Each structure stands twice: as C-alpha cells, then as structure tokens.
Amino acid sequence: MRKILLSITLMLLLLLCNGAYAEETKKISHYLLLGQDGYAERIVDDARTDTIVLISLDETGNRIILTSILRDSRIDNPKGHSTKINLLYKGYGFDGVISCIERELDVDIKGAILVNFEHVKPIIDALGGVDIEIDTNEYIAIKKILLGKDPNMPKGPGMTHMTGRIALAYMRDRSSGSGDFSRTERQRKVVSQLFDKCKALSLPELISIYNQVSAGMKMSLNQLEVLKVMAEGYALASSGAAFIEYHIPQKGTYSYGSMEEGASTLDVKWKQSREKFHELLNETK
C-alpha cells in the first residue's frame, strides 16, 4: 500500500513540476524548519528548537528566502505570556510556534518540519557534503566540538569539504563570531548549499533521499503535502532561483534583556521587524 501511495504522489509531483496540474498558485509560500539541538537519537516532544528558519518560496520573484529567527528572541506565547521563542514548540507544539510567528510577522505559514540535528548528518552525506570556507576560530571550534577525532577533520582554516559530521559541528559552533547571529548564518550557508545541490538531482532521486532520512523528522504536513513542498522548492531551485539569507531581529530592531529567572533574551521590536521583513518580501528584481 505504501509503495502504491508513493507511486501516486510521484506522478502528481511530476505533473506539478511540468505545470500540468491545475492549481491556484501563490506568490510566496512560507514553511517553517525547526531544528532540535542536542545529541538525542530521536525527536522528543519537549524539544527546544534552537534552530528556527522560515523558508519562503517566492514563485513570482524566483527567490528562495531563508530567514533565521534567533532562539533567544522574546515573544508572547499563545496565552499572552512572554517567553523565549525556542520554548514555544516545547509548550505548544507546531500550532503554537506557527500561530505566534504568523501573528508577529503577518504571514501565512503552510506547515512546519522538526528535524533532529543528529539526522542532519545523513542528509548532508547523501547529498555529497558541502564546501564552505572557514576561519581560524571556526576551525578551532570544530576541532573542539569533535575532540579532534574525525578522519575528515579540516587541516586548518580555508575552503573545507565537510561531511555531515563536520558540517553539524560547524553549525553548532556558538563561540565564533557574534554568538547566535553568526551561528544562524552558518546554518543558512549549509542549508542554501544543500538546496543548490538538489538542482543536480532528479525529482525521483530527491524523493529517494527524503525517504532515507524522513525517520528523523516530525511534520505538521501529511505525506502528499511534504512531497508537494519538495516539488515546489525543486522547481524553483532548478530554475535558477536566487537564494536570499536574512535574519530576525535585524540591527536596530532589538535590545538585550532577560527573563525573570535571569535567562538572557533579545527583546525584539516585532512591529519594526515585520515591516522590514515585508520590505524584503515585496522587493522585485
């Protein structure tokens, strides 16, 4: 039954990519990618989502926009109480995270995927790794995180071919640069390169990789919806879509604060952040 379902969805996706499936198209479709940090083998329901990336597929502008929302951003939860944004999923699940971000950014989020960071490694390896230039501090951080014990350990700073394990250490680095701002920038670099690598794959190959790694994901979308998103992103990437990297908050739209228990926060000016984000969405080539 599962093979029959996969065959049917594959046929639908091929039709979608060829433009033969009549459906109302939207200018921009938004999806949420959440990353559960830590070293757990499986997705856990009380996960802190230290990685929050809003993926905006701009069909009209032929752009893929990756917007990181920093984990220490202060936001009101669904009950109106102030909290850190990385705690929303733990307390309110997909619906809570989606509704709060929709409220603050005035966007319609079609669905969300939660990925266990440990399962990012096979995704990267399945796509042949990534090539990223690292500086001295990033090299030291990677070596420290992996205790220097990896056959593919970088030899030093410079252009580096990263396996999944090396890339994951690179994305987890919080000590280099400007803290979480630099960390989310590293994550966007890896994700954008993975999108770029997908352009060289056929849609069936991409679906095959998804089937291999989907056990490490939890989704608010059903199988048909997930595969449709893959087709939408694949069509954009294959058409030479521009990759735009962005982060919230931007300079001048936040201040440093703390919760009552003492945890540090970024006190985001959400109205300004929303206005700046929509300026980006409304840009044309």
Q: Is the pLDDT of residue 260 over 90?
A: no
Do 47 and 115 contact (CB within 8 A), yes or no?
Answer: no
User: Are 277 and 98 contacting, i.e. CB atoms less than 8 angstroms apart?
Assistant: no
Tell me what pLDDT residue 41 has.
63
User: In this predicted model, what pLDDT tens digit does every residue of 110-121 receive, in sequence order?
Assistant: 999 998 877 788
pLDDT of 235 reads 86
Answer whether residue 157 is part of any domain: no
The answer to whether residue 278 scores a pLDDT higher than 90 is yes
Residue 254, classed as helix, strand or coil, is strand
In a domain, 141, yes or no: no
pLDDT in tens, 181-225: 898 899 889 988 888 887 788 878 888 887 877 777 889 998 888
Taking the C-alpha atoms of residue 267 and residue 149, their distance in angstroms, rounded to an integer, is 39
* pLDDT confidence of residue 161: 95
Q: What's the pLDDT at 38?
A: 63
Is 144 a member of any domain?
no
What is the predicted pLDDT for the residue at 26? 52
HSE-up (13 A, CA, CB side) for residue 123: 24
What does residue 20 show for φ and ψ, rounded to 5 degrees?
-95, 0
Q: For residue 226, give the CATH number of its domain.
A: 3.40.630.190
pLDDT exceeds cutoff 90 at 70: yes
pLDDT at 69: 97
Is residue 260 situated within a structural domain?
Answer: yes
pLDDT tens for each residue of 110-159: 999 998 877 788 889 988 999 999 999 999 999 999 988 889 999 999 99
Residue 243 located in a structural domain: yes
Confirm whether 156 is domain-assigned: no
Compute the C-alpha angle 41/34/135, nearest 5°.
85
Query: What does the pLDDT read at residue 115?
Result: 87
User: Is 196 inside a domain boundary?
Assistant: no
Report how many domains make up the chain: 1
CA 278 to chain centre: 19
In a domain, 50, yes or no: yes
Residue 112 sits in which domain range?
Answer: 2-117+202-281
Per-residue pLDDT tens over the stretch 42-58 = 677 777 898 999 999 99
pTM of the model as a whole: 0.83
Is it the case that residue 66 has pLDDT exceeding 50? Answer: yes
Segment 12-34, tens digit of pLDDT: 444 344 443 334 445 899 999 99
